[in-house]
Structure 1
Amino acid sequence: MGAVSAAAITFLGAAYFARRVVVPTTTRREDLSITQVFEGEDGSLRIELPATPLTRAPGRYSFWFGNGKGHACIGAVVDEDTNDGTVTRLVERVDAGDLHAARAGIWSGYAFSKAEQLGLPFEEVKIKVDNGVAPAWKFVPTTGGPAASTWAIHAHGMGGKRAGALRGVPVASSLGLTSLVVSFRNDGDAPPSNDSRYSLGQNEWLDLEAAIQFALDHGAKRLVLFGWSLGGSMALRAANLSAHSDRIIGLVLVAPVLDWAETLTSNGRASGLPEAVARVGLKMLGAKAGRWVTGLEQPLDLLTLDWLARSRDLNTPTLILHGIEDKSTPVTASERFAELRPDLVQLVRFEVPGHSLEWNADPDKWESSVTRFLKSLPAD
């Protein structure tokens, strides 16, 4: 009886794990409390929060509140009370909602919630994808020159929206690149897939391929793919499988997931899930019989998404920007990838806690690294 119960518990835990990986989340719990919002002596708006590694980190961040309807850009730390365990930061702007009325929110790396906040010329465009059209922002470069026919396509991460990829646009624009900031299946903006499930880049890259086709149809000659987290997995897959892979001259990957099996298992361990249960969950994701649990239209082939095992398949110059304290997607995979392919992969490390917050903590280092990399790519 005990063995049966243990097996049942393992199965249920694995099923929960597998579904959690692929079922898109529409809401997040606002788990960061607000101590107070007030005006400083200089008239600036300030917010006091519990002091954590994230809220104490240097740089600019997003604070979402009001069930995701409110957004503020949070700037520098101006005070810290070690006795009360709080930190006070500048509020650079409030884009939506009443921050004074908020009691809690979500800390994130977006910094920009709308395209117009970049102060760059842009237009809304529609890209034909499976099941309909996906909205995108097209940014016209502020300078011309030889790079004018090079386009940068920016793909956000899992559970996010295209605004999360806006951080990469200013540096691309300053170098004369046209930028296309895209949405993709199951992100709430683009049409959902037939099964309404994430496939960890296995199928999402097809929407990136549609964006590539759009860019080529509208004058692009060369392409650089910017991928954030899951977007990095998509960019690698596109560079490998795209019908236009010869036009892709570079990849800029921000905290990319290079080995989904290890990343998911590591995340499971961090949340207290026994590794054996996580491994069973991974088998469910890859098995046809697991479809009734996961809802996936087709099983996931995690081996094809393992870029450490497939490092020899990389043919495109690649820059990786990764925080050394990223517990969600550990930097060790990026370090290994760079060791395996020193001929094509450059890795720049950042001292910042959290995931995909490299730009936020040190935008100067981030943009100078990207600038050097892009300038090193062939002009034609």
Structure 2
Amino acid sequence: MIRSRAKTRLVFLQIGLLSWGVLLVGLLAFLWLRPQGQFALSQLPLISIAAWLAGIGLVAFLVAGLLSRKTRVYILFFVAVLLVLVNGLAYFGAYTLTHYNDSMLPGLAFAPKPENASNPAEFGLDYATERITINDEEWLEAWRIPYYGEPQGTVLLFPGNGGNKAHQLMWPAGIFHQMGYHTLMVDFRGQGGSSGTSATMGLREAEDVAAAMAHAEQIGLPRPYVLYGVSAGSVAVMKAVDDGLQPDATILEMPFAHFMNAVKTRMKAQDFPTAGVAELLVFWGSIQHGENGFFHNPVNYARSMSMPTLILQGEKDRWTTLEEIDAIYDNLPGAKELVIFPNTGHSLLVTVDETFWTQSVRDFLQAQGLAQPSS
């Protein structure tokens, strides 16, 4: 009986070693082949394969431990290893989700840094590239599009997570220009022509919003200042205001209300488990970036926004529910307006219905005395 038990334990140990050995060899092969362009990530379900191999190995080692004479010691060791593994995966997951093409871990599946593929000149607009210094090592790149007539003011535009000024801000900037505004299109750190390779979903980006508005004042761009943000860019605007920034108006397109809910919603969309995992991702992401993601709730920032605010939202946005948008709207203490785009998801809304978007923005600005009535 003892001999049979020992043989069974040996079999499970071999299964565990084989599973983790294959996982390790596969990881090393991936690290070696990926930088050489010989490995197409999209051709294999790598995450699923790795999860299965890791899971099989863990179960095999656990069963082998239960068959051991020192079961209690082995279980404690197994639990310790499991905790280290789970937290290690969460740390790595948080790192990959908030970094682009990072040289710290070359060859891994980081998303490419969102680079600008066009510029305003291609759309017939004069522009100047501005460099906004954050510190000795960090800066923001911005495009300033001047208005040569009598300006209505200045609109500062900020992109969403994974976007950049060329991809997400060109179209709305062109419309604001037609309305008679100077425009300043800004890449956050980690985007486009700005320094850095990371993003924080509106936390650190709030500092970039404040730096951009200070730059606009420094170079003499006229008031009123209207801050326009897309998705996480709108959240950065909200946090900047909560931190003390005072623009003359804000236009928030598709903000989220609670960061934790936003993480869970995106995980569910990718069929990942959320219970406990989302909290670990936010915890390790907070450690990495020196920010507290658990208190990153724009619905609370809204209480600080006494200036006129327009919210633009898609009716069928899968990332943020209308109930969450209503909660943000209800917390706004100043003049406010909410415009819902029917049958629309999480898309750049000006591209869905330019006429409706333009009229909604124009009506809001005119109602607040920030734009002259169109002739």
Q: 2:157 aligns with which of 144, 154, 158?
A: 154
**CA 1:211–1:309 in structure 2 vs 1: closer, same or farther (change >3 Å)?**
closer
Equivalent residues of 1:337, 1:345 under 8 A apart: no
**CA 1:25–1:332 in structure 2 vs 1: closer, same or farther (change >3 Å)?**
farther
Query: 2:310 aligned with 1:319, yes or no?
Result: yes
The more displaced of 261-270 and 196-205 is 196-205
Q: Which has the larger radius of gyration?
A: 2
5 Å-filtered alignment, 1:25-174, equals: 113-130=118-135, 131-141=137-147, 143-144=149-150, 147=152, 150-163=153-166, 164-174=168-178
SS in 1 for 2:100: coil
Query: 2:284 aligned with 1:300, yes or no?
Result: no
AA matched with 1:234: A
Higher share in strand = 1
Shift of 1:378: 3.9
Q: 2:330 aligns with which of 309, 329, 339?
A: 339
Whole-angstrom distance in 1 between the partners of 2:149 and 2:240? 28
- The corresponding residue for 2:283 is 283
5 Å-filtered alignment, 1:9-24, equals: 10-24=86-100
Shift of 1:125: 2.3
Whole-angstrom distance in 2 between the partners of 1:281 and 1:69? 26
Equivalent residues of 1:182, 1:211 under 8 A apart: yes
Length-normalised TM-score, structure 1:
0.66
**CA 1:221–1:342 in structure 2 vs 1: closer, same or farther (change >3 Å)?**
closer
Q: Which runs of 5+ in 2 are unaligned?
A: 1-61, 64-77
Shift of 1:352: 4.9
Whole-angstrom distance in 2 between the partners of 1:69 and 1:180? 18
AA matched with 1:231: G
Whole-angstrom distance in 2 between the partners of 1:115 and 1:143? 18
Higher share in helix = 2
Shift of 1:230: 1.5
Q: Cα RMSD over matched residues? A: 3.1
Query: 2:366 aligned with 1:375, yes or no?
Result: yes
AA matched with 1:135: E
**CA 1:340–1:373 in structure 2 vs 1: closer, same or farther (change >3 Å)?**
same
Whole-angstrom distance in 2 between the partners of 1:118 and 1:263? 34
- The corresponding residue for 2:210 is 209
Equivalent residues of 1:141, 1:176 under 8 A apart: yes
Shift of 1:228: 0.9
- The corresponding residue for 1:222 is 224
Shift of 1:299: 3.5
Shift of 1:379: 4.6
Q: Which has the higher contact order (CA 8 A, sep 6+)?
A: 1
SS in 2 for 1:309: helix
Percent identical pairs in the alignment equals: 22
Whole-angstrom distance in 2 between the partners of 1:209 and 1:340? 22
Shift of 1:68: 9.3
AA matched with 1:168: P
Shift of 1:353: 4.7
Whole-angstrom distance in 2 between the partners of 1:12 and 1:272? 21
SS in 2 for 1:191: coil
**CA 1:68–1:190 in structure 2 vs 1: closer, same or farther (change >3 Å)?**
closer
SS in 2 for 1:21: helix
Equivalent residues of 1:185, 1:191 under 8 A apart: yes
Equivalent residues of 1:142, 1:174 under 8 A apart: no
Alignment deviations for residues 272-322 of structure 1 (CA, whole Å, 9 cap, x no partner): 222221122222233xxx44xxxx3x143431x202234322222211111
Query: 2:184 aligned with 1:177, yes or no?
Result: no
